């Protein structure tokens, strides 16, 4: 941590800051510049408490963190890619994993038809919401338990693993009975009560980036999961909120390589929410494979205009199949690069 004092800080203020640093158990390295004093703080362990205290101390202009505030999720803690095993597949391994399905589970026919269709086209995991976070209290809120049961049926019929959202710590146990992957929605990325419960649920988690969350905050939320016992975490870029309205969100595609530099956890791209528009999904999916994401999660619906939610961004089964065909050579290039990388790492 670095403390930058105000240009005209008094000697007393500077001494007081140094004293406070020592009280927290850290060492002080003071640098006298032409204009101001800058103090380096050296020591082990989390400096957050010290940093917050010093920010509030007279004479201090700014307290800057140098080390990352997360630990277990960082590349420094673990260099090799984490591979999350789900029902025989390895996310973060040698296959680009495609998750697909409707926004909401709506009926047996709808989910069975979709499951069958996406499986044939190459998806490994079926998505479908049973508990739905909706902006309006008057919108469809999901089939809840019945939806979970339909997802199980679809799994039995197709062999696809299931990913579905959990919205409250009250529902964690219930959802964990049915889901192979527990999804945390963007609006719940900093629902810390939920994250704590999920730390103990025994299932892999797909953690969606909040729509105005920084990459560091995403990693801090992942750290919550790991610190509470669950290290099978998938990070998901699904677009952030900006001033641009041509797309539903702005796909922060560079978050994929940024995360690859910062963490060992797999990164999944959601081209459906990132764009909000069906016609843009295949192009963004291509970019996601090329840039080196570990997988993607895509909304597919047998009849989007009859969908109860997110129809505008859902591909039809035909469109999904075409996209998967078109992606084939990109998957091949992806695999080639990944196999080489893992071999080089001696894995």
Q: State in angstroms the smallest separation of the CB of 24 from its own copies.
A: 12
Q: State in angstroms the smallest separation of the CB of 182 from its own copies.
A: 15
User: Does residue 100 interact with its own copies by CB under 8 A?
Assistant: no
CB nearer to its own copies: pick between 54 and 86: 54
User: Does residue 256 interact with its own copies by CB under 8 A?
Assistant: yes
Binding to its own copies (CB under 8 A) within 20-59 occurs at 20, 29, 31-36, 38, 40, 42-44, 46, 48-49, 52-58
Distance between CA atoms of 10 and 18, rounded to whole angstroms? 13
Tokens 């390589």, residue located: 257
Binding to its own copies (CB under 8 A) within 143-162 occurs at none
CB nearer to its own copies: pick between 21 and 151: 21
Nearest 5°: CA angle at 315, between 310 and 316? Answer: 115
CB nearer to its own copies: pick between 22 and 85: 22
User: Does residue 200 interact with its own copies by CB under 8 A?
Assistant: no
CB nearer to its own copies: pick between 63 and 125: 63
Binding to its own copies (CB under 8 A) within 173-192 occurs at 187-188, 190-192
208: which 2 tokens? Answer: 């969606």
Across the strands, what pairs with 316? none
User: Does residue 340 interact with its own copies by CB under 8 A?
Assistant: no
Phi, psi (deg, nearest 5) at residue 54? -70, -35
Q: Is there a contact between 215 and 192 (Cβ–Cβ < 8 Å)? A: no
Among 15, 64, 159, 325, binds its own copies (CB under 8 A): 64
By rule CB under 8 A, what count of residues binds its own copies?
110
Binding to its own copies (CB under 8 A) within 273-292 occurs at 274-275, 278-280, 283-284, 286-292
Residue 76: left if φ>0, alpha if ψ -120 to 50, beta else—which one?
alpha
User: Does residue 343 interact with its own copies by CB under 8 A?
Assistant: no
Q: Is there a contact between 190 and 213 (Cβ–Cβ < 8 Å)? A: yes
CB nearer to its own copies: pick between 223 and 294: 223
Q: State in angstroms the smallest separation of the CB of 123 from its own copies.
A: 20
Distance between CA atoms of 185 and 58, rounded to whole angstroms? 41
Across the strands, what pairs with 98? 296
User: Does residue 116 interact with its own copies by CB under 8 A?
Assistant: no
Q: Binding segment for its own copies among 91-99, 122-130, 166-174, 175-183 (CB under 8 A)?
A: 166-174
Q: Is there a contact between 129 and 147 (Cβ–Cβ < 8 Å)? A: yes
Q: In what order do the strands lie in the sheet with 27-32?
A: 27-32, 37-42, 2-5, 60-64
User: Does residue 258 interact with its own copies by CB under 8 A?
Assistant: yes
CB nearer to its own copies: pick between 200 and 216: 216
Strands 37-42 and 233-237: unpaired
Q: State in angstroms the smallest separation of the CB of 319 from its own copies.
A: 12
Distance between CA atoms of 279 and 299, rounded to whole angstroms? 12
CB nearer to its own copies: pick between 25 and 159: 25
Among 11, 88, 177, 261, binds its own copies (CB under 8 A): 261
* Count of CB atoms situated within 10 Å of the CB of 260: 18
User: Does residue 113 interact with its own copies by CB under 8 A?
Assistant: no
User: Does residue 133 interact with its own copies by CB under 8 A?
Assistant: yes
Q: Is there a contact between 290 and 254 (Cβ–Cβ < 8 Å)? A: no
CB nearer to its own copies: pick between 134 and 321: 134
User: Does residue 228 interact with its own copies by CB under 8 A?
Assistant: yes
Q: Is there a contact between 3 and 54 (Cβ–Cβ < 8 Å)? A: yes
User: Does residue 76 interact with its own copies by CB under 8 A?
Assistant: yes
Please report, to the nearest 10 degrees, the dihedral formed by the alpha carbons of residues 194, 228, 174, 178 taken in order: 110
Among 99, 206, 314, 317, binds its own copies (CB under 8 A): 314
User: Which residues have CB under 8 Å from 169's CB, separation 6+?
Assistant: 193, 194, 196, 197
* Count of CB atoms situated within 10 Å of the CB of 254: 11
């Amino acid at each position: 941590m670095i403390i930058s004092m105000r240009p005209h800080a008094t000697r007393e203020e500077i001494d007081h800051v140094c004293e406070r640093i020592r009280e927290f158990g850290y060492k002080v390295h003071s640098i006298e510049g032409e204009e101001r004093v800058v103090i380096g703080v050296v020591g082990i362990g989390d400096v957050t408490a010290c940093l917050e205290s010093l920010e509030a101390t007279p004479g201090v202009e700014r307290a800057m963190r140098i080390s990352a505030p997360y630990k277990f999720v960082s590349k420094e803690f673990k260099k090799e890619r984490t591979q999350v095993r789900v029902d025989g597949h390895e996310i973060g391994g040698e296959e680009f994993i495609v998750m697909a399905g409707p926004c909401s589970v709506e009926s047996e026919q709808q989910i069975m038809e979709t499951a069958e269709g996406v499986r044939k086209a190459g998806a490994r995991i079926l998505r479908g919401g049973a508990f739905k976070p909706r902006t309006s209290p008057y919108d469809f809120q999901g089939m809840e338990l019945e939806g979970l049961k339909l997802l199980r049926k679809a799994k039995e019929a197709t062999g696809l693993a299931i990913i579905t959202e959990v919205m409250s710590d009250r529902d964690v146990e219930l959802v964990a009975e049915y889901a192979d992957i527990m999804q945390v929605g963007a609006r719940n990325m900093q629902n810390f009560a939920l994250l704590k419960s999920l730390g103990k649920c025994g299932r892999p988690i797909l953690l969606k980036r909040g729509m105005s969350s920084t990459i560091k905050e995403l990693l801090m939320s992942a750290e919550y999961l790991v610190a509470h016992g669950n290290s099978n975490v998938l990070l998901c870029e699904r677009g952030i909120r900006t001033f641009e309205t041509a797309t539903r969100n702005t796909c922060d595609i560079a978050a994929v390589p940024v995360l690859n530099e910062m963490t060992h956890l797999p990164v999944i791209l959601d081209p459906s929410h990132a764009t909000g528009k069906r016609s843009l999904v295949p192009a963004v999916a291509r970019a996601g494979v090329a840039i080196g994401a570990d997988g993607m999660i895509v909304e597919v619906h047998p009849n989007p205009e009859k969908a109860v939610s997110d129809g505008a961004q859902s591909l039809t089964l035909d469109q999904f199949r075409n996209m998967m065909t078109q992606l084939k050579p990109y998957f091949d290039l992806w695999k080639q690069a990944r196999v080489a990388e893992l071999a080089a790492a001696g894995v």
